[in-house]
Amino acid sequence: MTDLISFEPATGAELWRGPIGDADREVAIARAAWLEWAARPLEYRTETLRRFANAVRASADRFADLIARETGKPLWEARSEVDSVIAKVEISISAQAERTPRRRMEGALGARTAIRHKPHGVLAVLGPYNFPAHLPNGHIVPALLAGNAVVFKPSEKTPASGAFLVDRFHEAGVPEGVVRLLIGGREEGIALAANRDLDGLLFTGSAAAGVALNRQFADTPGRILALEMGGNNPLVMWDVTDIHAAATIAVQSAFLSAGQRCTCARRLIVQDGAHGPLLEEIRKLMGRLIVGAPHDQPAPFMGPLIDNDAASHVMDGFLERVLKGGVALHPMTRPDPDKPFLTPGLIDVTDVARRPDEELFGPILQVIRVPDFDHAVAEANATRYGLAASLVGGSPDLYDRFWANARAGVINWNRPTNGAPSNAPFGGLGFSGNHRPSAWYAADYCAYPVTSVEADQARATIGQGLRD
């Protein structure tokens, strides 16, 4: 049996290995275990998941260390991710109570209308590598609360973090058949999505993979498909008064997690002629950022990209834009050609013809100068994506204009593009999602509503249309 091997991005050392699984086998096991889990009272499932939160809390240091080593992200950021995994349980419990409560309404002649929700059955969860615990957990916890069984395939780049997460579910008392771990790569993901015994699939990842899944599910409308994809996110800075604060927001938006967040700003839109001091302040702050390994001291702001292929792709994207006429304001560099570390890059692409509408998943921020605010909004919307957008500066009236016209699922004011709270819906449109927002609204796609009209006794009359 072939093993899947995970390597540490910062060092290249082998971190973990495990046998590649069989998608059909895992779905069959989950199917056999599902009914008993679904039949458990909600209170039972709730308490089981609270024990899961405690199990993660008890192993938080080990979990954070593993995530940091496997993704390359700084240890402080990995600890924050573990905290999000723990917090997700209570957030999901509250969200389910609000989004999918049981309701009863009185009707005529003693009848009642009841609204309740049923789980779908067996749901697949495909997780990404950038948040290998938090993002799949954001699907798994509400799915389990609703009474579903789950087959979870972590990214082939972060299987160790996925396996650790699943072990915590089992440690807490979630039956092994109810949460299954599928180790594998692209082939296993395709096989899992193709299994007709699945009742749905919950996905976080690239737009290309999400579009492929959408096509694959097109002939089975009875199966739920929730897609969280990427973004070519705009950050508009207009009439800024605090240059340093604006520069800090730009750096946070573009370079957190080495730019490997779906909500990271990819395009910085500024007013032509008034942009000089702002860009200079951003450049100064970029020059101070520490890029390093997860456990370095002093702690780095950002670590490496996930692997050398990813780093090469982003570097090539930066150089391609320079060759097409872009002006490198802060050149991106690769300090070690054998490791996926990149320094952040800032490039003015205003004069680049036919700018590619793509999500460069790394620490690159593209500057676009425009003459007025109407052009800024038009430029912000000049993308197939629609995940996050932010306006920094301006008046409340200007923000109202921006909010009303920006095409995105997360729209912020004077905050980074990657400021999305867990107690609110999270999702986008276009190539960013299929109108199945997650986070607070995840309960919506983990169960379906059933409307019932009920009466204690059968009563019926036909008042018209009968012969005497």
| pLDDT at residue 306, rounded to an integer | 98
Q: Which CATH class is domain 233-413?
A: alpha beta
Rounded to whole angstroms, what are the CA distances from 167 to 36, 133, 251? Answer: 20, 12, 36
User: Whole-number mean pLDDT of the chain?
Assistant: 96
CB atoms within 10 A of CB 65: 16
Answer yes or no: same fold for 3-229+433-453 and 233-413: no
pLDDT tens, residue by residue, 73-91:
999 999 999 999 999 999 9
Radius of gyration of the chain measured on its C-alpha atoms = 24
Rounded to whole angstroms, what are the CA distances from 290 to 131, 258, 287, 330? Answer: 21, 11, 8, 15
Omega of the bond prior to 298 within 30 degrees of 0, cis? Answer: yes
Per residue, the 3-state secondary structure of the chain, as one string, reads CCEEEEECCCCCCEEEEEECCCHHHHHHHHHHHHHHHHHCCHHHHHHHHHHHHHHHHHCHHHHHHHHHHHHCCCHHHHHHHHHHHHHHHHHHHHHHHHHCCCEEEECHHHCEEEEEEEECCEEEEECCCCCCCHHHHHHHHHHHHHCCEEEEECCCCCHHHHHHHHHHHHHCCCCCCCEEECCCCHHHHHHHHHCCCCCEEEEECCHHHHHHHHHHCCCCCCCEEEEECCCCEEEEECCCCCHHHHHHHHHHHHHHHHHCCCCCEEEEEEECCCCHHHHHHHHHHHHHCCECCCCCCCCCCECCCCCHHHHHHHHHHHHHHHHCCCEEEECCCCCCCCCCCCCCEEEECCCCCCCCCCCCCCCEEEEEEECCHHHHHHHHCCCCCCCEEEEECCCHHHHHHHHHHCCCCEEEECCCCCCCCCCCEECCCHHHECCCCEECCHHHHHEEEEEEEECCCCCCCCCCCCCC
| pLDDT at residue 109, rounded to an integer | 73
Residue 111 banded pLDDT, cuts 50, 70, 90: confident
Q: Check whether 133 has a pLDDT greater than 70.
A: yes
| pLDDT at residue 422, rounded to an integer | 86
More confident residue, 463 or 34: 34
Q: What is the mean pLDDT of residues 418-423?
A: 86
Angle between helices 42-58 and 159-171 (to 10 degrees): 120
pLDDT tens, residue by residue, 244-301:
999 999 999 999 999 999 999 999 999 999 899 999 999 999 999 999 999 999 999 9
Residues 200, 220 contacting (CB under 8 angstroms): no
Q: Which residues fall within 8 angstroms of residue 155, CB to CB, at 6 or more apart?
A: 127, 128, 129, 132, 162, 205
Domain ranges of the chain: 3-229+433-453, 233-413
Q: Check whether 442 has a pLDDT greater than 80.
A: yes
Query: Which among 26, 262, 264, 359 is annotated as catalytic?
Result: 262
pLDDT tens, residue by residue, 28-71:
999 999 999 999 999 999 999 999 999 999 999 999 999 999 99
| pLDDT at residue 260, rounded to an integer | 98
Q: Check whether 452 has a pLDDT greater than 80.
A: yes
Q: What is the mean pLDDT of residues 165-187?
A: 98
Q: Would you put residue 102 in left (φ > 0), alpha (ψ -120 to 50) or beta?
A: beta
Residues 269, 394 contacting (CB under 8 angstroms): no
pLDDT tens, residue by residue, 210-240:
999 999 999 999 999 999 999 999 999 999 9
| pLDDT at residue 468, rounded to an integer | 82
Residue with tokens 């249309």: 465
Residue 143 banded pLDDT, cuts 50, 70, 90: very high
- 82-85 CB contacts, 8 Å cutoff, 24+ apart: 82/56, 82/133, 84/134, 84/137, 84/422, 85/53, 85/56, 85/133, 85/134, 85/137, 85/165
Half-sphere exposure of 231 (CA within 13 A, CB side): 34
| pLDDT at residue 122, rounded to an integer | 98
Beta bridge partners of 452: 114
Residues 105, 325 contacting (CB under 8 angstroms): no
| pLDDT at residue 1, rounded to an integer | 62
**Catalytic site residue 264?**
no
Query: Which among 77, 81, 188, 228 is annotated as catalytic?
Result: 228
Q: What is the CATH number of domain 3-229+433-453?
A: 3.40.605.10
What b/e sequence results for 418-454 when a residue is b if at least 16 CB atoms lie within 10 Å of its CB, and e otherwise? bebebeebbbbbbbbbbebbbbbbbbbbbbeeeeeee
